[in-house]
């Protein structure tokens, strides 16, 4: 077995274990990875020596080891999402002359991680560390539109979970479903004066390797600016697609 195939198989073992609710047997790994059981045992023993997996003898199963946790923690410490997205936002803001944001879902809120604002543009309420109701923001809705309906229902079970800033925006689970369905078909999300009077935003989501939305890139402009939402959406969709590629993700099917 050459070095590259062995490394690839080991990574597939880690990915499969990470996707499970708990430890699994070697036979399950062999079946799901379509590998000989003997090869799987060799991989697991080598990975166990390095701490990436651990054997649970009483259960006859294998789980992730401490080294896998350390790698995951290091990934978070390196702020990879912000580092990968910042050049895209900078270029987007410069080319369009509009404020660009990177947002993630934090419960039922949009949490803004990055903001790139060209010179001589009016200040906005959105800023790094600011949280706003996800159902009102273009970024939030772009991510919500990519989630399973059950997950959206859990975040918005009834009308009490809906707040308003300007009197606009969905006010019930049914209205939110309609908005998200339309935006999913359109391929981008748009809000008009739902966050700040006189301003509109468009956004598109970036996805991980499971096709799950992990972030959204948005552009915000004054509504009187002579530019169409479709023109702005083309820009943010390209940027979000590039971020998806940089994250090793894929567009959902």
Domain extents in the chain = 3-74, 79-246
Cα–Cα nearest to 19, from 5, 32, 8: 32
pLDDT of res. 78: 59
For residue 180, give the H/E element and its range.
helix 173-186
CATH class of 79-246: alpha beta
Cα end-to-end span (Å), the chain: 34
User: Matching CATH topology for 3-74 and 79-246?
Assistant: no
| pLDDT value at 226 more than 70 | yes
Torsion angle in degrees (nearest 10) through CA of 195, 130, 202, 105: -110
Strands 99-106 and 199-207: unpaired
pLDDT for residue 223 is more than 60: yes
Q: How many Å apart are CA 193 and CA 223, to the nearest integer?
A: 8
Tens digits of per-residue pLDDT, 45-85?
Answer: 999 999 999 999 889 999 999 888 878 766 666 568 899 99
- Nearest alpha-carbon partner for 188 in 142, 149, 133, 246: 142
Which has more confidence, 225 or 100?
100
Supply the pLDDT for residue 1: 42
Q: Work out the average pLDDT over 213-229.
A: 91
Q: What is the structure's pLDDT at 66? A: 86
Mean pLDDT throughout 11-16?
Answer: 90
Percent residues over pLDDT 70 in the chain: 95
* pTM score of the predicted model: 0.73
Between CA 7 and CA 178 the distance in angstroms is 45
Q: Find the helix or strand (DSSP H, E) in which 244 lies.
A: helix 229-246
Residues 251 and 206: their CA atoms lie apart, in Å, by 8
Domain 3-74 has CATH 3.30.70.1400: no
Residue range 28-40: mean pLDDT, rounded? 91
Q: Report the pLDDT averaged over residues 80-105.
A: 93
DSSP bridge pairs for 213:
207
* 143-179 confidence digits (pLDDT tens): 999 999 999 999 999 999 999 999 999 999 999 999 9
pLDDT at position 98 is: 92
User: Dihedral of CA 194/200/205/206: which sign?
Assistant: negative
């Amino acid at each position: 077995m050459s070095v590259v195939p062995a490394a690839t198989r080991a990574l597939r073992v880690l990915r499969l274990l990470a996707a499970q609710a708990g430890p699994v047997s070697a036979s399950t790994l062999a079946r799901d990875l379509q590998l000989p059981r003997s090869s799987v045992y060799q991989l697991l023993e080598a990975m166990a020596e390095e701490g990436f997996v651990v054997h649970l003898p009483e259960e006859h199963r294998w789980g992730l080891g401490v080294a896998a946790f350390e790698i995951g923690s290091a990934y978070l410490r390196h702020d990879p999402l912000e580092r990968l997205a910042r050049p895209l936002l900078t270029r987007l803001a410069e080319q369009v002359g509009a404020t660009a944001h990177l947002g993630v879902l934090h419960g039922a809120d949009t949490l803004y991680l990055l903001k790139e604002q060209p010179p001589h543009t009016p200040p906005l309420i959105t800023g790094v560390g600011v949280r706003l109701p996800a159902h009102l923001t273009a970024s939030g809705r772009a991510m919500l539109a990519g989630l399973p309906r059950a997950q959206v229902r859990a975040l918005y079970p009834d009308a009490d979970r809906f707040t308003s800033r300007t009197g606009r925006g969905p006010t019930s689970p049914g209205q939110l479903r309609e908005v998200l369905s339309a935006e999913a078909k359109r391929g981008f999300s748009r809000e008009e004066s739902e966050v700040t009077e006189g301003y509109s935003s468009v956004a598109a989501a970036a996805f991980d390797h499971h096709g799950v939305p992990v972030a959204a890139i948005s552009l915000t402009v004054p509504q009187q600016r002579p530019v169409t939402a479709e023109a702005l959406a083309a820009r943010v969709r390209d940027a979000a697609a590039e971020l998806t590629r940089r994250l090793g993700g894929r567009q959902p099917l």
